Amino acid sequence: MLSTIAIESLKRRKTTAILTLLSITISISLLLCVDIIRTQVKTSFTRTVSGVDLIVGAPSGQLNLLLSSVFNIGTPTKGIEYKSIAALQSNKQVSWLIPLSLGDTHRGFRVVGTTNSFFDHFKYGDMQSLEMAAGSAFTQPLSTVVGADIAKSLGYKVGDKIIISHGLGSVSFNNHDDHPFTISGIVKKTGTPVDKAVYVTLQGLEEAHTGPKHSPTSMLGRKPADKAKEHEHEHEHEHEHDEHTKEHAVYNSEAFTPESVSVVMLGLKHRVTALQLQYQINQSKKEPLMAILPGMALAELWQIMGNVESLLLGLSGLIVICALIGLATMLLATMRERYQEIAVLRTIGAGPFTLLLLIQIEAMLLTIVSAALSLGLVAGLMSALKPWLSSTYGLFLSSPLFGQSSVIIILLILGCTYLVSLFPAVAAYRRGLHAGLNANS
Amino acid sequence: MNTINKNNSTHSQRNAVSEEHNAVNKERNTAIEVSNLQFSYTKESPPIVDIKAWQVSQGEHVFLSGPSGSGKSTLLNLLCGTLTPTQGDIALLAQPFSALSNRQRDKFRARNIGVVFQQFNLIPYLSVAQNINAAVYFASTNVSKTASDAQLRHLLDKLQLPSHVLHAKADALSIGQQQRVAIARALINDPQLLIVDEPTSALDTDARDSFMSLLKDVAGESTMIFVSHDKAMESYFDRHCSMSELSPSTNHLKTRGDEAPKAQERA
């Protein structure tokens, strides 16, 4: 009955109740958005790369190197010369090496020049390897492997031909029309920037820029021990592929020697040697290089973001408190016109405490409805912004969207509602102590 | 000597039994018993109500009159338990009402006292059914208890109200209909005591007469205290009490222009 009275009372004060509801909904939504972005950024970034021990590039900053190589965010740095890559290749501590050449796009998606080593060694999430949803890794110099989101949004399938454009950005005036790449494979969805990247061979990328070049002198990306495995691997491909790919099945993408690449990812035989190798690379006198530990770079990122996070959370929290004070003010302002109701309720047996409870139920109802609306609004907003967040900020939203922190936030807001609603509730209680017949005469 | 003592003892025993019987009889017959009742809104202000002794028998319909400011509403609020006496006792239906805790008094009121106001009887944004059921809710220990539709319709029928008003909002009804719904709400818990505060002040003579006949009819065996400053209504009741007789000292002060300020009453 009390909830019926509370609901009907709010319905009677429809305009003020809706405005209050709106302000609370917006403020809770803001707080939830900040919290979701905060937690999702961490989850998304942390799951993007695993198993890569060192990332080597031209000296810039460790964040720039990390963001451009792993997250496809920002502009890539100056390249690393081949001789440095060869030196890394021959280092005894290095187990595998993935060269990455960045800077081109295909219809707004980043193009990454690499070798088959990428598909063999790159891991994401909880050390999960990349798997092909269709086709295989590179089978010829002008092969390309596309991410799951690209295949889905652009409707690509294995065997389709695509053209890449020079430079970053969704519109380019410099298309490499004379070097169409054939899709040899589509990577299974990973929920990482891999889904939104086009992988081409280093050879194909360089040919697209400078014309054909043949220098099968190197086995980039793989240690000599991998060669036999490579052969077996390619034989497997031979059996799997259709006629089109069969003739190129023996293609060894690592055999090509690029002039330079943007970044190199390293996998070490023993992870404990990572710091030592990092020091060696950073001190290298031949070519100035910079090696970063992805974990350390991420930690630095969290440190920078931590302050911004706290600031945003604090501000959003204050906005919620303002909205709740607005709610209390609304209820307090209606108290004068409610004296008659209070008198009626008192004489039919409602105690002052019941009146206090009634006002608190009204406040709680508004906040609960606002919280429910906010959850729906934020879920809808996030779902609508999902493609934009992943393409612009490399932020891949994973489910569940609302975690433990969202629950804590809602509970805290309900707690705050209880506290601020005490002001009008106590006013009703005090009025109830004296309200009776003829209260208005 | 022994025989005399024995006789005396038997006599005193008989007296005790007789007194007890009288007391039981008195408890059974007395609906309201007020003794040495005083009430003032602040410690400094003179009492608004000062009644030495007053009794109302069960089933009695009492007409309480007095000019504005004579303390009628204050007395009703004291009888309802929405105000607590500054001094003295009120016993209702053989219960030491003024000695009960606030919570007990609220529950007692919800179960045993039906109240009809002068105006603003109903909660405007609730439907007629919800208004009546609110009284059921506060009187019951079972939070989900409500009056059945048949019960409500029967009551409305008795009060000559069409059954379609049941789901109408209270403020969509006429004043006369609102007053009848207020009576329905006051009667829904079969109270033993009905307190009615100037319900006819907004009605013309014909409407007043029809309302009074209806009220007397539906009140039945319940004890009723009916308050009005219109002495012409006296004929409808078993007994007439005026505030100047009940509370002579406070009404004596008022006749000298020393009325309790209204602001204090509103406090």
Asked whether the predicted pLDDT for residue B253 surpasses 80, the reply is no
- Cβ-defined contact of B109 to A349 (cutoff 8 Å): yes
Q: How far is B167 from chain A (nearest CA, A)?
A: 13
State the pLDDT at residue B18.
37
Closest CA to A164 of A145, A146, A177: A177
Residues B16-22 have a mean pLDDT of 41
pLDDT in tens, A358-375: 888 988 999 999 999 999
| CB contact residues (below 8 A), chain A span 304-343, against chain B | 340-341, 343
- Cβ-defined contact of A351 to B82 (cutoff 8 Å): no
Residue of A4, A343, A436 lying closest to B83 (CB–CB): A436
Mean pLDDT (chain A) is 79
Residue of B77, B107, B124 lying closest to A436 (CB–CB): B77
Ordered DSSP codes for A195-241 = GGEEEEEHHHHHHHHH-----TT--TTS-TTHHHHHHHHHHHHHHHS
Asked whether the predicted pLDDT for residue A85 surpasses 70, the reply is yes
State the pLDDT at residue A317.
87
Q: How far is B82 from chain A (nearest CA, A)?
A: 6
CA separation for the pair A84, A340 (Å, rounded): 86
Residues A263-279 have a mean pLDDT of 86
CA separation for the pair A73, A301 (Å, rounded): 14
What is each CA distance from B11 to B7, B8, B105, B110, in whole angstroms? 6, 5, 41, 45
Residue with the bigger pLDDT between A88 and A217: it is: A88
CA angle B221, B227, B231 (to 5 degrees): 110
Asked whether the predicted pLDDT for residue A440 surpasses 50, the reply is no
Strands B239-242 and B61-65 come out as: parallel
pLDDT band for position A173 (cuts 50, 70, 90): low
- CA A52 to chain centroid, in Å, comes to 19
Output phi, psi for A93, to 5 deg.
-80, -20
State the pLDDT at residue A229.
43
pLDDT band for position A161 (cuts 50, 70, 90): confident
- Cβ-defined contact of B80 to A8 (cutoff 8 Å): no
Residues A189-205 have a mean pLDDT of 85
- Cβ-defined contact of B76 to A436 (cutoff 8 Å): yes
pLDDT in tens, A99-113: 888 888 888 888 888
In terms of average pLDDT, the best of A170-174, A206-210, A233-237 is A206-210
Q: Any chain B CB within 8 A of the CB of A344? A: yes
Residue of A5, A9, A435 lying closest to B82 (CB–CB): A435
Residues of chain A positioned with their CB less than 8 A from the CB of B83: 434, 436
- Cβ-defined contact of A341 to B123 (cutoff 8 Å): yes
Residues of chain A positioned with their CB less than 8 A from the CB of B126: 4-5, 8
Domains along chain B?
A: 59-84+99-261 (3.40.50.300)
The answer to whether residues A191 and A45 touch, using CB atoms and an 8 Å cutoff, is: no
- Cβ-defined contact of B102 to A434 (cutoff 8 Å): no
State the pLDDT at residue A18.
92
Asked whether the predicted pLDDT for residue A261 surpasses 70, the reply is yes
Residue of B76, B110, B134 lying closest to A437 (CB–CB): B76
Instruction: Output the CA torsion B134→B140→B144→B147 (10° steps).
Output: -60
**Domain segments of chain A as ranges:** 2-45+308-434, 54-292
Q: Cβ contacts of residue B110 below 8 Å, gap of 6+?
A: A348, A349, B135, B138, B139, B189
Asked whether the predicted pLDDT for residue B256 surpasses 70, the reply is no
- Cβ-defined contact of A436 to B111 (cutoff 8 Å): no
Closest CA to A14 of A399, A393, A420, A366: A366
In this structure, what token pair is assigned to residue A93?
A: 């501590």
Residues A62-88 have a mean pLDDT of 79
- Cβ-defined contact of B102 to A351 (cutoff 8 Å): yes
Least confidently predicted of A148-152, B15-19, B143-147: B15-19
Residues of chain B positioned with their CB less than 8 A from the CB of A341: 123-124
Least confidently predicted of A14-23, A53-62, A70-79, A275-284: A70-79
Q: What are A221-226's contacts with CB under 8 Å, separation 24+?
A: A221/A89, A221/A96, A221/A97, A221/A98, A221/A99, A221/A115, A221/A116, A221/A117, A221/A118, A221/A253, A221/A254, A222/A96, A222/A97, A222/A117, A222/A254, A223/A89, A223/A94, A223/A95, A223/A96, A226/A96
Q: Any chain B CB within 8 A of the CB of A362? A: no
Asked whether the predicted pLDDT for residue A136 surpasses 90, the reply is no
Residue with the bigger pLDDT between B96 and B16: it is: B96
Helix axes A422-434, A404-420, angle to 10 degrees: 30
Q: How far is A355 from chain B (nearest CA, A)?
A: 12
In terms of average pLDDT, the best of A167-176, A355-364, B13-22, B69-78 is A355-364
Interface A–B counts its CB contacts (< 8 A) at: 92
pLDDT in tens, B123-134: 888 988 889 888
Q: Whole-model pTM above 0.80?
A: no
Residue with the bigger pLDDT between B227 and A73: it is: B227
Asked whether the predicted pLDDT for residue A247 surpasses 80, the reply is no
CA separation for the pair A431, A89 (Å, rounded): 83
CA separation for the pair B117, A347 (Å, rounded): 9
Instruction: Output the CA torsion A216→A218→A220→A226 (10° steps).
Output: 100
In terms of average pLDDT, the best of A132-141, A338-347, A376-385 is A376-385
- Cβ-defined contact of B130 to A441 (cutoff 8 Å): no
Mean pLDDT (chain B) is 76
Residues of chain B positioned with their CB less than 8 A from the CB of A8: 125-126, 130
In this structure, what token pair is assigned to residue A16?
A: 């003020």
| Burial of B248 from C-beta contacts in 10 A (0-12 / 13-18 / 19+) | middle
Least confidently predicted of A76-80, A328-332, B67-71: A76-80
Q: Report the share of chain B in percent with pLDDT over 90.
A: 0
Q: How far is B166 from chain A (nearest CA, A)?
A: 16
How many other C-beta atoms are found inside a 10 Å radius of the C-beta of residue A2?
A: 19
Residue with the bigger pLDDT between A278 and A41: it is: A278
CA separation for the pair A387, A148 (Å, rounded): 13
Q: Any chain B CB within 8 A of the CB of A412? A: no
Residues of chain A positioned with their CB less than 8 A from the CB of B82: 346-347, 434-437
Alpha helices in A334-403 (DSSP H): 339-347, 352-393
Asked whether the predicted pLDDT for residue B5 surpasses 50, the reply is no
A-chain residue closest to B114, CA distance:
A348
pLDDT band for position A177 (cuts 50, 70, 90): low
Asked whether the predicted pLDDT for residue A289 surpasses 70, the reply is yes
Which of B137, B142, B169 best probes binding to A when mutated, by most A CB atoms within 10 angstroms? B137
Tell me which residues of chain B have a C-beta less than 8 Å from any C-beta of chain A: 73, 76-77, 80, 82-83, 102-103, 106-107, 109-111, 115, 117-118, 120-126, 130, 133-135, 137-139, 143, 146, 185, 195, 197, 266-267
Closest CA to A103 of A185, A202, A184: A202
Name residue A4's amino acid: T
- Give, as one character, the DSSP assignment of residue A132: E
Residue of B126, B138, B266 lying closest to A349 (CB–CB): B138
Computed over its alpha carbons, how large is the radius of gyration of chain A? Answer: 31
State the pLDDT at residue A22.
92
Q: How far is B114 from chain A (nearest CA, A)?
A: 7
Asked whether the predicted pLDDT for residue A435 surpasses 50, the reply is yes
Least confidently predicted of A172-176, A191-195, B144-148, B258-262: B258-262
State the pLDDT at residue A219.
46
Q: How far is B118 from chain A (nearest CA, A)?
A: 7
pLDDT band for position B3 (cuts 50, 70, 90): very low
pLDDT in tens, B54-81: 888 888 888 888 887 788 888 888 888 8
